[in-house]
Amino acid sequence: MSLSWETLEELAGRDNGAGVTALLLGATEAERLAFFKTVEAGIKGADPSDWWRAQIHPAGSYAIAVVGTAPTAQKAAALLTRRALRDHWRFMPLGFLTDVATAREVDWMGDLGHRLAQRLSTRNVWDSTEWEFAAAIIRAGGAEPPVIEGVVKGWLGRLIRPRGKRVPPLTMRMRDDPYLDLLLPSVFEFDGLGADIFNTAWGDGSDNPGTVTRFPGAVGALVAEGRLERKTVLAATIDRLARGDKPNALRPFVVLHEKLAPTVDEIAEYAPDHLRLLAEAPGPIAALAQSMLRALDDAGRLDVDTLLDVSAPVLVRKEKTLVKAQITWLEKVAKRDPSRVDDVYRTLAGAFGHPALDVQERALIMIAKQLAGLRADTVALIAGNSVLLAGDLTARAAELFGTTMAAAPEPVPLTALEVAPMPPPIASAAELAEEVVVLLHDQTGVRWERVLAAVVTLHAQGPRDEFAAALAPILQRHSGWFDTNQWNTGSPFHGLGTAIRMATDPPRHDTGHQQLHTSVRIAWQEGRRGGGNSKLAADPTGVLALRAAEIAVRINGSMMPMLVATPTRVNGSIDPAALLERLSRAEAEGWQPWSFDLEQALLRLPRTGVAAEVTAAAAELTSPAGRQFAQWLAAGGLPDPVSEPCAQVGERNDAGAYTWDVPVPRRMGARLTPARDGGLRLERQLLTHQPGRHPRWSPNEFDGVEAVLAMVVPHHREVAAAWALGDLGSFADQGQRGDGRLLPLLAECTGPVGPGMAYGLVYGFGAKHEPDRISAVDAFLTMAAGAEPFAAAVGSALADLCADGTVKLSRVTLGLTDAFRGGAATAVWELLTTALPPLLATKLRAVPDLLELASQVAVALDIRAEIPGLAEAAALPGTSRLAQESRRLLAILTGRP
């Protein structure tokens, strides 16, 4: 066979690596070198997606051709790292590649392997096939791999998680690995690599059922048998812990430290590192350091002054177990060395600054026991520190030290939020073009409203050629967003794009325009979005798409000078006086607002507080829109829908697990039902919502369009909350990330709080990710500054969701503590008095923390009250935290010491 591209293609199409090898080796070296240009052009012109769609992967045959014809390692690497071949490294016929290189007697295979290694991914340790390919080339060249992150990750991933047949245990594989001594030290050096160890160390299928062979255990075994030097591994382990990383990335090194079990001499050598870890490292690592230092202290080799210095930051750490252990340690030192008692208890007084009352109380009790034996200056210093105490401990400290109890600071009054006015309207076609581009990346409700208003206003003002010159290029550049296709038929971008085309250069026949016309007609005749011939979303965000479609359909039918639904406030609200002015203008100029534009405007009017003069002036309007406006105000606007809690219950499969379709045991939804049959055409579908029977996996219907959702009915926030409750629930029960954008937006709106808002806030407080929890706190503070009651409803939802572990009470308590410190003490107390009675009966581990918060709030507000079930919890025998915190709160609420 001749050495031609056609022959190579034919062999590659059959994945005939042996045939390609024979073809190349049958030619002379000069012929092979001359053929390289052909191979290079063919690979550069290939479409990688064609190879993936093929039933076989011809890339291996082309890789043989590269190695068999390339003049240098640089030329070969340039082709092998192109996407057409790089995506198929896992399928490479390594035997044929090395056979061709050996036959050619090339001396650059090691160099080629190094160049390939430089391109190894540093992100994905699960797939080590790229490393295997690069390593095979490196071995063929008789070289060693470069010590870089991609190589170390690939090597480690291949060791920990081997593919294919059963293999020996990890300890044996590491012992026999040729690169162990070269690459293992770097495992301790690259940040984040420990997370890959933790995530991939699942065992390899070669271990007995129920056991796993893990990396730390294997390294520890090799140290024990002398294959690895103990001093080197221990130093690298402690250095890795001291340099810090994310907790899951450090966990394997914590386990390795435990496996190595340092001796007292070794602990003493690395005492400075352990001291820093105790003060600064994440909780589990600090606990490890604490145990090491205690062993050193027990051996009499830790200086007391050093211990006292490190204790100061430890005593205010959030990990209570760690702090309590440090307190016990200090007490032991004081008993062991009476000459240092004053120094120890001065240090111990630092625990008064801990945020937890039980830690503060423990320190206070220990100091009280030794008070008589302390010097006067020590007592004075400790008494001064007692101002840091909280709750009932302030009064106890005042009695103990004979000081005057400082009056509890008045709770900071919250100021009701003033919702900002809308930005000024867009003034030119060029500005509109900029806003449309930004809208593609950030769909805020405010930006959508300004863009829609500007399309109508600027089109009416003209000239058309200026409008077209600014916007037509954007439609062409982002045609996937604005043209008619299967992905965007229900999107507001489709309506916006069609409206701009109709306003600039109306086509004779436009399928998208016809689709939008049908959707608008169905919405007008049936009050329906979605289903049948309507492509619009049935949820509230579909109202925006309907309004954009209405503009596209009507923009050339009448020269409408403006939209009447553009909000006057950034939360979507319209000032009734502003709408009166717009409709009065329409009546005077003889034009009628479009139907859905007017309905959206009415839905944005406040529920209450409409000035009498506005109502009177509206009654004098005679146009159809004016009369509808007047009737709307006279009737009190949109009636509140009925919102009811609705449990979505999971079902287990035959294996006893929850499935993709039913991912969690329980999630709360909210069922909406309209309060009346008549009303606006938009009304019924907006106010009708029936959650599904089962929870959905990671619902994200409103991801990125939270502001659009909130602005549809800004004075009935329960509607938006009910529709989005599935999204909010997944933040807590599935750990999804949403940055909690919706809750603060709804807090800026108004309306009664029903199960949608109440459960939504609790899900926000219990979210896995901190930004979502912070957003829930912000929303709570905003609502606490308002006049509408809400805290009791949130308390009932909290008790429901936390009682069975649907939401983690510990997370919620942290958020409520932040809300209390942020000034919402009254609202937090109202929530707690509703939530505590049912939660006390559960005896959950986190209930004492909630009781502790209640004690702090009760002292701040000087509350005297009765909480059902609290006396029974306080009467429990023993010294459990539940009993202790119940007694504390009961004493505060009854005014008894």
Look at residue 581 and tell me whether its pLDDT is greater than 90: yes
Look at residue 725 and tell me whether its pLDDT is greater than 70: yes
Q: What is the pLDDT of residues 418-466, one digit of tens each?
A: 899 999 999 999 999 999 999 999 999 999 999 999 999 999 987 788 8
Q: What is the mean pLDDT of residues 144-170?
A: 84
Look at residue 338 and tell me whether its pLDDT is greater than 50: yes
Integer Cα distance of 95 and 778 in angstroms? 62
Number of CB atoms found within 10 A of residue 524's CB? 14
Q: What is the pLDDT of residues 499-549, one digit of tens each?
A: 999 988 777 677 888 899 999 999 999 999 998 889 899 999 999 999 999
Q: What is the pLDDT of residues 242-280, one digit of tens each?
A: 998 888 888 899 999 999 999 999 999 999 999 999 999
User: Residue 624: what pLDDT?
Assistant: 96
User: Residue 202: what pLDDT?
Assistant: 40
User: Residue 407: what pLDDT?
Assistant: 55
Integer Cα distance of 340 and 304 in angstroms? 8
Look at residue 93 and tell me whether its pLDDT is greater than 50: yes
Look at residue 838 and tell me whether its pLDDT is greater than 50: yes
User: Residue 201: what pLDDT?
Assistant: 42
Strand-strand pairing, 666-673 and 642-649: antiparallel
Look up residue 544 and give its two tokens: 């925006």
User: Residue 322: what pLDDT?
Assistant: 95
What dihedral angle (degrees, nearest 10) is formed by the CA atoms of 689, 691, 692, 694?
180
How would you class 340 by CB atoms within 10 Å of its CB: exposed for 0-12, middle for 13-18, buried for 19 or more?
middle
User: Residue 782: what pLDDT?
Assistant: 96
Integer Cα distance of 333 and 307 in angstroms? 10
Integer Cα distance of 480 and 492 in angstroms? 13
Q: What is the pTM of this model?
A: 0.80
Q: What is the mean pLDDT of residues 847-865?
A: 95
**In terms of C-beta distances under 8 Å and separation of at least 24 residues, what long-range contacts does 202-205 make, across chains too?**
202/161, 204/160, 204/161, 204/162, 204/167, 204/169, 204/170, 205/166, 205/167
833-842 burial string, b = 16+ CB within 10 Å, else e?
bbbbebbbee
Q: How far is CA 710 from CA 39, 550, 744, 884, in A?
A: 58, 21, 10, 44
Look at residue 123 and tell me whether its pLDDT is greater than 90: no
User: Residue 194: what pLDDT?
Assistant: 84
Look at residue 206 and tell me whether its pLDDT is greater than 50: no
Q: What is the mean pLDDT of residues 730-759?
A: 92
Q: Is the model more confident about 763 or about 42?
A: 763
Q: How far is CA 746 from CA 228, 592, 712, 759, 821, in A?
A: 60, 32, 11, 13, 22
**By the 8 A CB rule, do 320 and 332 touch?**
no
Angle, alpha carbons 370-372-374 (nearest 5°): 70
Q: How confident is the model at residue 53 (pLDDT cuts 50, 70, 90)?
A: very low
Q: What is the pLDDT of residues 553-568, one digit of tens each?
A: 999 877 789 999 999 9
- Structure-token match 């230092």, residue found: 293
User: Residue 210: what pLDDT?
Assistant: 26
- Structure-token match 């007697």, residue found: 105
Tell which residue, 284, 342, 353, 281, has the closest CA to residue 310.
281
Q: How far is CA 158 from CA 91, 167, 177, 213, in A?
A: 16, 12, 11, 14
Percent of the chain with pLDDT over 90: 68
**In terms of C-beta distances under 8 Å and separation of at least 24 residues, what long-range contacts does 121-127 make, across chains too?**
121/150, 121/153, 121/154, 122/149, 122/150, 122/153, 125/153, 125/154, 125/156, 125/157, 125/196, 125/199, 125/200, 126/157, 126/161, 126/199, 126/200, 127/90, 127/157
Q: What is the pLDDT of residues 601-616, one digit of tens each?
A: 999 999 888 999 999 9
Look at residue 207 and tell me whether its pLDDT is greater than 50: no
Q: What is the mean pLDDT of residues 21-36?
A: 91
Q: Is the model more confident about 857 or about 879?
A: 857
Q: What is the mean pLDDT of residues 285-289?
A: 94
Lowest mean pLDDT segment, chosen from 114-123, 406-415, 571-580: 406-415
User: Residue 131: what pLDDT?
Assistant: 86
Q: What is the mean pLDDT of residues 727-741?
A: 87
Q: How confident is the model at residue 204 (pLDDT cuts 50, 70, 90)?
A: very low
Lowest mean pLDDT segment, chosen from 349-353, 652-656, 759-763, 886-890: 652-656
> What value does the mean pLDDT of the chain take?
89
User: Residue 409: what pLDDT?
Assistant: 58
User: Residue 126: what pLDDT?
Assistant: 52
Look at residue 403 and tell me whether its pLDDT is greater than 80: no
DSSP 8-state class, residue 702: T
Look at residue 656 and tell me whether its pLDDT is greater than 90: no
609-631 burial string, b = 16+ CB within 10 Å, else e?
ebeeebeebbeebebebbebbbe
User: Residue 170: what pLDDT?
Assistant: 87
Look at residue 755 and tell me whether its pLDDT is greater than 50: yes
Angle, alpha carbons 554-560-562 (nearest 5°): 120
Q: What is the mean pLDDT of residues 736-757?
A: 92
Residue 630's SS3 state is helix
**Sign, Cα dihedral of 786, 790, 791, 794:** negative
How would you class 320 by CB atoms within 10 Å of its CB: exposed for 0-12, middle for 13-18, buried for 19 or more?
middle
Q: How far is CA 781 from CA 130, 417, 776, 800, 833, in A?
A: 52, 10, 9, 22, 18
Q: Is the model more confident about 740 or about 671?
A: 671
User: Residue 324: what pLDDT?
Assistant: 94
Q: Is the model more confident about 489 or about 806?
A: 806
Residue 671's SS3 state is strand
User: Residue 48: what pLDDT?
Assistant: 57
- Structure-token match 């308390």, residue found: 795
Q: Name the amino acid, one letter, at 422.
A: M
Count CA atoms within 13 Å of residue 146 on its CB side.
15
Q: How confident is the model at residue 411 (pLDDT cuts 50, 70, 90)?
A: low
**By the 8 A CB rule, do 580 and 528 touch?**
no
Look at residue 84 and tell me whether its pLDDT is greater than 90: no
Q: Name the amino acid, one letter, at 705.
A: V
Q: Is the model more confident about 897 or about 774?
A: 774
User: Residue 619: what pLDDT?
Assistant: 96
Q: What is the mean pLDDT of residues 39-55?
A: 67
Look at residue 200 and tell me whether its pLDDT is greater than 50: no
